[in-house]
Amino acid sequence: MNTAVAAHCPYCALQCGMTLTPREPGALVGPRDFPVNEGALCQKGWTAASLLDTPDRLREPLVRRRRGEPLRPAGWDEALDLVAGRIRELQDRHGPDAVAVFGGGGLTNEKAYLLGKFARVALRTSQIDYNGRFCMSSAAAAGTRAFGLDRGLPFPVTDLRDADVIMLVGANVAETMPPLVRHLRRARDRGGLIVVDPRRTATAEQAALHLAPRPGTDLALALGMLHAVVAGGHLRRDYADARTTGLAQAWRIAARWRPEEAERVTGVAGACLRDAVELLAGARNAYLLTGRGTEQHSSGVDTVSGWINLALALGLPGRAGSGYGCLTGQGNGQGGREHGQKADQLPGYRRLDDEAARRHVAAVWGVAPEELPAAGRSAYELLDALGAGTGPRALLVFGSNPVVSAPRAGHVARRLAALDLLVVADTVPSETARLADVVLPVTQWAEEDGTMTNLEGRVLLRRRALSPPQGTRTDLTVLRELAVRLGQPASRFPDDPEEVFDELGRASAGGPADYAGISHRRLRAGEVLHWPCPDRRHPGTPRLFLDRFAHADGRARFVPVDHRGPAERPDPDYPLIATTGRILAHYQSGAQTRRVADLLRAAPAAYVEVHPDTARRAGLADGDRARVVSRRGTVEVEVRCVPTIRLDTVFLPFHFPGDERANLISNPALDPTSGMPEFKACAVRLAPANGERP
């Protein structure tokens, strides 16, 4: 008789607790009491077991010797030999950087760690980055420069339950993380929920105060609010003096942003902006939380700094019962950005350009520090450089589907097609896998052990609940096998998750994200461990910054930032602003959720949300097929008239493939600090699908 195994949902960064009871085939999802979700799940969670027996699950490697030929089944040795041989060939001819690696924020800590090590040690390439660049990079950079450390929520998510006021900026949690809404109830029911979103989302519907800025103007709003804090006498000068630096410089800029100036740019009434400030300043406990809506901009880092400045002026960060945090999106979006799959990073959230960090990690890896490559290209720059000029000639993709999820997706697909070698490790034939020369079938969440670090920095052990399908291997085994074929000693690339995690702990020891004291054993024993956790007796750190921030002087930094606005603005040819986002039934590129019948039934296709007046002016009505055209491409989708959306704004969900890819139109203008593309604001026009040709 099969027994229920404690498990975690395979999707977002909440990592809701659930039970999995193996069946033949697949498994059954059941409720499990876990602080983040209290037994609740959204539709994605309840139906997650469908992923385990999806009909088109990859069960054997696929290869093609030439482009244009169909992929055909192959044995593991043939596939791995082919990959390793081509890698050697390309690196011999073009140097180590001819081979690039692209990872994902859904990979376990063990995989993310080993992938980074594989790139730097086995491939000796600088060309590695991951899809978290499109997700958390702006908040991460802003958090690091403000606090000296980036952990999405520096407090347990359950702390939100006691707040009087919570301000959500660019976060539609009622659709993207439904169980989180349970923790917002107290604030909401007391009239203390403030939501900043250009759309009247399911989350905004619940807010006492909904501020709807024009897309791309969030920083002007944050500056106006900082102005109102000072002008209204709400500045916490005692806190600013004792715990921060840089207020004067940040204020000099905010001084120019009277709420009336911010109003002109954002469209949010100065009076509403002041109301929001009064609510926050009058609260005993208050939180300010940001999401992708405010972060996915070419000025995303500065925008988040603007929000952090506001939180600091109100004295929220590092105060028990209050704080600033960003809501991490991907399942392991937190751990995935800490252990070395990022272009400029080594495990433990160390920097690749830090000599001491290089020495430490090189010693753990048994290589010389100078053998470690320098920092490489950020995700979009990497994809943009593929197969051209000095760019990489081969790409190995793990846990990502950039053909759907990268900005200017049409161009990205063309770059992938220009490669000499594309290798994709995945569980299903994703849109990116279909373009590959070699597809490697790997195991997934309930079929293997591994740790995930959720949005509150808590490290969770995901246990194997059932056997993987015949013919699949774990990503760890794939990396080990490739490394050995590339001349590495097998002992340097363990594929036992527990062994890999122990090595990760040593590599991260002494770094900002210190996992040294965490072990699978402690997690199996039920310990609740938030990093940093430097030794085996350390209880972990659920709440950061209560006594000091992580900069050397212990103080948080106000950062002087000013509003720039989106890289592309509406003009007579492209008069509307398109913004993109997630919907409840789907997750990321949809490679998983579009294979779940219930979810596909709930949301079968992409659409564009348009104000009825805007639709009518474009000759469109609810339900019509429309073309949404930008300078980069055209999406063809159904019109959904929504009277609450701004007249100048349209919205598209980004989970759908082919001609319905929202990223065909998105703008790859990058943030200069984080490399985040501008997913959330680009100029478009709208036309009937059967009319104008782009």
Span interacting with other proteins, options 260-268, 420-428, 514-522, 631-639, rule CB under 8 A:
260-268
- Could you say which of 71, 230, 375, 528 contacts other proteins (CB under 8 A)? 230
Does 677 contact other proteins by CB under 8 A? no
Strand locations in 513-633 (E):
556-557, 576-581, 607-610, 625-629
Span interacting with other proteins, options 179-187, 351-359, 421-429, 477-485, rule CB under 8 A:
179-187
- Could you say which of 4, 149, 269, 375 contacts other proteins (CB under 8 A)? 269
What's the sign of the alpha-carbon dihedral 584, 648, 681, 407? positive
Chain positions 187 to 216 lying near other proteins, rule: CB under 8 A, are 202, 206, 214
- Could you say which of 613, 625, 691, 692 contacts other proteins (CB under 8 A)? 613
Does 31 contact other proteins by CB under 8 A? yes
- Could you say which of 13, 135, 166, 268 contacts other proteins (CB under 8 A)? 268
- Could you say which of 41, 139, 163, 442 contacts other proteins (CB under 8 A)? 41
Span interacting with other proteins, options 267-275, 286-294, 295-303, 512-520, rule CB under 8 A:
267-275
Closer to other proteins by CB, 67 or 616: give it: 616
Residues linked to residue 426 through DSSP beta bridges, in sequence order: 441
Q: What are the φ/ψ torsions at residue 600 (nearest 5 degrees)?
A: -70, -35
Chain positions 44 to 73 lying near other proteins, rule: CB under 8 A, are 46
- Could you say which of 71, 231, 367, 528 contacts other proteins (CB under 8 A)? 231
Which residues are CB-contacts of 69 (< 8 A; sequence separation ≥ 6)?
Answer: none
Shortest distance, position 570 Cβ to other proteins, whole Å: 7
SS3 285: coil
Shortest distance, position 673 Cβ to other proteins, whole Å: 17
Q: What is 409-468 written as a DSSP string?
A: HHHHHHHHHT-SEEEEEESS--TTGGG-SEEEEB--GGGS-EEEE-TTSBEEEEPP-SPP
Does 467 contact other proteins by CB under 8 A? no
Helical residues (DSSP H) of 486-639, grouped into ranges: 497-508, 520-524, 597-602, 612-617
Q: Side chain identity at 172, as an amino acid letter?
A: N
Element (H, E) at 649: strand 649-653
Q: Rounded to whole angstroms, what are the CA distances from 136 to 148, 448, 541, 615?
A: 16, 26, 21, 33
Span interacting with other proteins, options 66-74, 245-253, 389-397, 553-561, rule CB under 8 A:
245-253
- Could you say which of 194, 584, 628, 635 contacts other proteins (CB under 8 A)? 584
Give the binding-site size for other proteins (rule: CB under 8 A): 55
- Could you say which of 264, 284, 524, 631 contacts other proteins (CB under 8 A)? 264
Number of helices and strands (H, E) in the chain? 22, 29
The closest of 661, 662, 617 to 641, measured between CA atoms, is 617
Shortest distance, position 46 Cβ to other proteins, whole Å: 5
The closest of 330, 328, 326, 296 to 308, measured between CA atoms, is 326
Site string for other proteins, 591-610 (x = CB under 8 A): -------x--xx--------
Task: Measure the CA–CA gap between 530 and 550, rounded to whole angstroms.
Answer: 16
**Count of other CB atoms within 10 angstroms of residue 385:** 18
Supply 555's token pair: 């103080």
Q: How large is the angle between the packed helices 218-231 and 270-282, nearest 10 degrees?
A: 60
Are 41 and 16 in contact by the 8 Å Cβ rule? The answer is yes
Which residues are CB-contacts of 508 (< 8 A; sequence separation ≥ 6)?
Answer: 338, 339, 347, 348, 349, 350, 514, 515, 516
SS3 135: coil
- Could you say which of 270, 494, 532, 633 contacts other proteins (CB under 8 A)? 270
Span interacting with other proteins, options 130-138, 229-237, 370-378, 408-416, rule CB under 8 A:
229-237
SS3 379: helix
Does 267 contact other proteins by CB under 8 A? yes
Closer to other proteins by CB, 72 or 264: give it: 264
Does 82 contact other proteins by CB under 8 A? no
Closer to other proteins by CB, 67 or 617: give it: 617
Does 647 contact other proteins by CB under 8 A? yes
Span interacting with other proteins, options 117-125, 158-166, 265-273, 476-484, rule CB under 8 A:
265-273
Span interacting with other proteins, options 296-304, 388-396, 503-511, 640-648, rule CB under 8 A:
640-648
Task: Measure the CA–CA gap between 269 and 274, rounded to whole angstroms.
Answer: 9
Q: Rounded to whole angstroms, what are the CA distances from 295 to 217, 292, 378, 506, 615?
A: 11, 5, 16, 32, 28
Does 648 contact other proteins by CB under 8 A? yes
Does 573 contact other proteins by CB under 8 A? no
Shortest distance, position 263 Cβ to other proteins, whole Å: 5
Does 546 contact other proteins by CB under 8 A? no
Does 178 contact other proteins by CB under 8 A? yes
Task: Measure the CA–CA gap between 409 and 664, rounded to whole angstroms.
Answer: 5
Enumerate binding residues for other proteins (CB under 8 A). 31, 39-43, 46, 174-175, 178-182, 202, 206, 214, 230-233, 248, 251-252, 255-256, 258-261, 263-264, 266-272, 570, 575, 584-585, 598, 601-602, 611-613, 616-617, 643-644, 647-648
